[in-house]
């Protein structure tokens, strides 16, 4: 019966402490960062928006890789990783979808512009929300295989979606906002902070998979492979 | 300025909510 | 190859037996066209554009019904299990189902094309071959991905909704391409400026069929 290994148990709080500290530090740096000339203080959203966007993509990438691993090995831990990473990436994507328009509203006076990256993220969001809903509706064996298939198929299609939206719309997203070295430094700290945070969150979510699996092996097979979605 | 503050606050709020939900979920799975 | 055709014929025969469903599908898609033409009309600011969007929107939505229907029919008659027990190559089964779904939605297209054309007063007979070409590329992709995803949602209570939720975002590139090409054909008849989208459609088609080669069998086993 799988119990959460002790190193896992100990790693959790360490990661949380480190990431929360780093996130707090990055917020503080963001406050002190120089104000960007064209857009004003609102530009500081970038320090949370960009790291979250990258974390989201990496997260779905991990889901993709773990899904392949699951299909290859049928080892439940891979499905656990896939689902956990996917859920954390969803929250991250939501952050992107909220901070993006807030930035757009101040910078360009419109909530939405159909610009490629945000649009692709919207599609991603809907898609992976579907992942979780489908996952929650299935029972154990089907749940893992179907989730793995979704994890692979959604990700493979991503570059095509991205490119298509770009062709469709043309790029409005601020390519490289003029950044002073100080700003760049702040952004890097933000990246590190959110990557760490993401790892901590994924580990935390993985605990649920462990518990669910333990329960399943104890004689309630339908609960194996915890359904996706924090409210499931 | 306010928009940036709102953005940061919402970010914190989202993760906080997720964290609480996840912890509660684990607790309910553990207490069997 | 024979399996593919056999499976396709079986599916189509099952559909043909339920004429009421086919009629409902036709009416549903036609009413979508109607609603959208009323919404855009009576004077259309850009008929070619509005018509192409309407046509493909109606096809996409109606298509979902057809996709889930074929799996439902199979479940009802117990055909799915029997099919697997014959030991037929799962990919051949997939191709057969895709072919059947393609025929179904192609039929819908042939129905909606003249209707949309008339309501929006666009197009002429010379662009029909071009339109058929675009439809072929677009609908093959729709059927390929749709059959794959429909298998994921099989048996679930809200399967049409779930299928739409995962299928439509995935098919965005296909959707944009199809509408752009149709728009060009119904507009000035010149596809040159948008010919890149032909590549996109082709890539989507190939990708869908290729992914199914790896994954369909797994889904089939898992959702029995």
Residue B13 lies in a domain: yes
Question: Between C173, C176, C223, which is nearest A146 by CB?
Answer: C223
Spell out the residues 6+ positions from residue A16 whose beta carbon is closer than 8 angstroms to its own: A200, A204
Tell me the sheet residues that pair with A36.
A40
Which element (helix H / strand E) includes C171? none
Of A142, A145, A164, the CB nearest to C173: A164
- The answer to the question of residue B9 being in a domain is yes
C-alpha distances (whole Å) from A159 to each of A134, A164, A174, C141 are 23, 8, 20, 17
At A230 the three-state DSSP class reads coil
Nearest to A25 by CA among A184, A199, A179, A186: A186
pLDDT score recorded for residue A153: 94
**Domain residue limits, chain C:** 2-222
Interface contact B7-A49, CB threshold 8 A: yes
Flag whether residue A14 sits within 8 Å of chain C, measured between CB atoms.
no
Q: Which pTM value belongs to this model?
A: 0.87
Sort out which chain A residues have CB atoms less than 8 A from C163's CB and list them: none
Q: Are B14 and A56 spatial neighbours (Cβ–Cβ below 8 Å)?
A: no
Distance of CA C214 to CAs A101, A128, C96, C210, C220, Å? Answer: 39, 21, 16, 7, 12
Contact call for C219 and A141, based on CB within 8 A: no
**What six digits make up the tokens of A63?**
């889901």
Please tell me the predicted confidence (pLDDT) of residue A221.
56
What interface predicted TM-score (ipTM) does this complex get?
0.89
**Residue B7 domain-assigned (yes or no):** yes
Q: Is residue B19 assigned to a domain?
A: yes
Cβ separation A98–B7 shorter than 8 A: yes
In this structure, what DSSP letter does residue C224 have? Answer: -
Residues of C in Cβ contact (< 8 Å) with A126: 165, 169
By the 8 A CB rule, do A208 and B26 touch?
A: yes
Average confidence (pLDDT) per 10 residues, chain C, 224 residues: 84 86 93 93 88 95 89 71 74 91 94 93 87 94 94 82 91 94 89 87 95 89 76
Q: Which domain holds residue B11?
A: 1-27
Of B10, B21, B23, the CB nearest to A98: B10
Residue B22 lies in a domain: yes
Residue B18 included in any domain: yes
C132 and chain A in contact, CB less than 8 A: no
Sign of the dihedral through C-alpha A135, A136, A138, A144? positive
Chains touching A by CB (3 or more pairs below 8 Å): B, C
- Cα C34 from Cα C160, distance rounded (Å): 22
The percentage of residues in chain B with a pLDDT greater than 70, rounded to a whole number, is: 91
Find residue A40's DSSP bridge partners. Answer: A36
Residue B32 inside a domain? The answer is no
Q: Do chains C and A touch (3 or more CB pairs under 8 A)?
A: yes
Tens digit of each residue's pLDDT, chain A (232 residues)? 677 788 888 888 899 999 999 989 888 888 887 777 666 777 788 888 999 999 999 999 999 999 999 999 999 999 999 999 999 999 999 999 999 888 888 777 788 877 778 889 999 999 999 999 999 888 777 889 999 999 999 999 989 988 888 888 765 565 555 667 778 888 888 899 999 999 999 999 999 988 888 887 777 555 556 665 543 3
Q: How many Å apart are CA B31 and CA A152, to the nearest integer?
A: 34
- Is C157–A130 a contact, with Cβ atoms under 8 angstroms apart? no
CA atoms of C186 and C66, how far apart (whole Å): 27
The confidence score (pLDDT) of residue A39 equals 67
pLDDT at A140: 74
Q: How far is C165 from chain A (nearest CA, A)?
A: 6
CA angle (C124, C129, C133) in 5-degree steps: 130
User: Are the beta carbons of C165 and A131 separated by less than 8 Å?
Assistant: no
Structure tokens of C110? 């042939």
CA end-to-end span of chain C, whole Å?
24
How many domains would you assign to chain B?
1
Restricting to C residues 139-158, those with a Cβ less than 8 Å away from any Cβ of A are: 148, 152-153, 156-158
Q: What is the DSSP string of A80-127?
A: HHHHHHHHHHHHHHHHHHHHHHHHHHHHHS-S----HHHHHHHHHHHH
Helix, strand or coil, per DSSP, at residue A40: strand
Q: What is the pLDDT of residue C122?
A: 87
Report the residue of B13, B25, B27, B30 to disrupt the A interface, i.e. the one with the largest count of A CBs within 10 Å.
Answer: B25
Cα C93 to the center of its chain, rounded Å: 18
């Amino acid at each position: 019966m799988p119990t959460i290994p002790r190193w896992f148990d100990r790693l959790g709080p360490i990661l949380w402490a480190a990431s929360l500290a780093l996130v707090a530090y990055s917020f503080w740096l963001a406050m002190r960062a120089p104000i960007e000339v064209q857009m004003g203080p609102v530009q500081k959203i970038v320090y949370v928006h960009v790291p979250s966007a990258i974390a989201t993509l990496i997260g779905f990438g991990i889901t993709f890789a773990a899904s392949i691993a699951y299909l290859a090995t049928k080892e439940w831990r891979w499905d656990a990783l896939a689902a956990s990473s996917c859920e954390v990436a969803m929250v991250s994507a939501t952050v992107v979808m909220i901070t993006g328009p807030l930035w757009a509203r101040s910078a360009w006076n419109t909530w939405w512009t159909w610009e490629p990256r945000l649009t692709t993220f919207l599609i991603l969001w809907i898609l992976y929300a579907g992942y979780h809903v489908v996952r929650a509706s299935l029972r154990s064996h089907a749940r893992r295989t179907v989730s793995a298939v979704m994890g692979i198929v959604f990700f493979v299609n991503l570059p095509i979606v991205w490119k298509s939206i770009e062709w469709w719309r043309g790029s409005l997203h601020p390519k490289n906002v003029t950044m002073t070295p100080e700003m760049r430094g702040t952004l890097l700290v933000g990246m590190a902070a959110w990557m760490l945070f993401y790892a901590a969150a994924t580990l935390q979510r993985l605990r649920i998979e462990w518990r669910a699996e333990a329960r399943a092996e104890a004689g309630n097979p339908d609960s194996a492979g915890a359904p996706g979605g924090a409210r499931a | 300025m306010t928009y940036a503050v709102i953005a940061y606050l919402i970010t914190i709020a989202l993760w906080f909510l997720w964290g609480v939900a996840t912890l509660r979920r684990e607790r309910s799975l553990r207490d069997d | 190859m024979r399996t593919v055709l056999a499976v396709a014929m079986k599916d189509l025969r099952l559909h043909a037996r339920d004429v009421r469903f086919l009629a409902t599908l036709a009416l549903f898609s036609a009413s979508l066209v109607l609603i959208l033409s009323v919404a855009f009309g009576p004077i259309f600011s850009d008929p070619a554009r509005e018509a192409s969007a309407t046509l493909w929107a109606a096809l996409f939505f109606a298509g979902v019904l057809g996709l889930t229907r074929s799996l439902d029919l199979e479940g009802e008659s117990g055909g799915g299990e029997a099919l697997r027990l014959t030991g037929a190559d799962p990919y051949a089964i997939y191709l057969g189902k895709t072919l059947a779904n393609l025929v179904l939605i192609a039929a819908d297209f042939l129905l909606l094309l003249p209707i949309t054309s008339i309501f929006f007063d666009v197009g002429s007979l010379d662009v029909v071959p071009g339109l058929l070409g675009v439809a072929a590329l677009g609908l093959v992709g729709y059927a390929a991905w749709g059959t794959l995803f429909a298998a994921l949602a099989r048996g679930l209570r809200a399967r049409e909704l779930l299928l739409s939720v995962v299928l439509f975002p995935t098919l965005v590139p296909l959707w944009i391409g199809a509408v752009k090409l149709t728009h060009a054909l119904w507009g000035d008849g010149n596809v040159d400026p948008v010919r890149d989208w032909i590549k996109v459609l082709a890539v989507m088609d190939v990708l869908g069929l290729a992914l199914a080669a790896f994954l369909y069998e797994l889904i089939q086993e898992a959702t029995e």
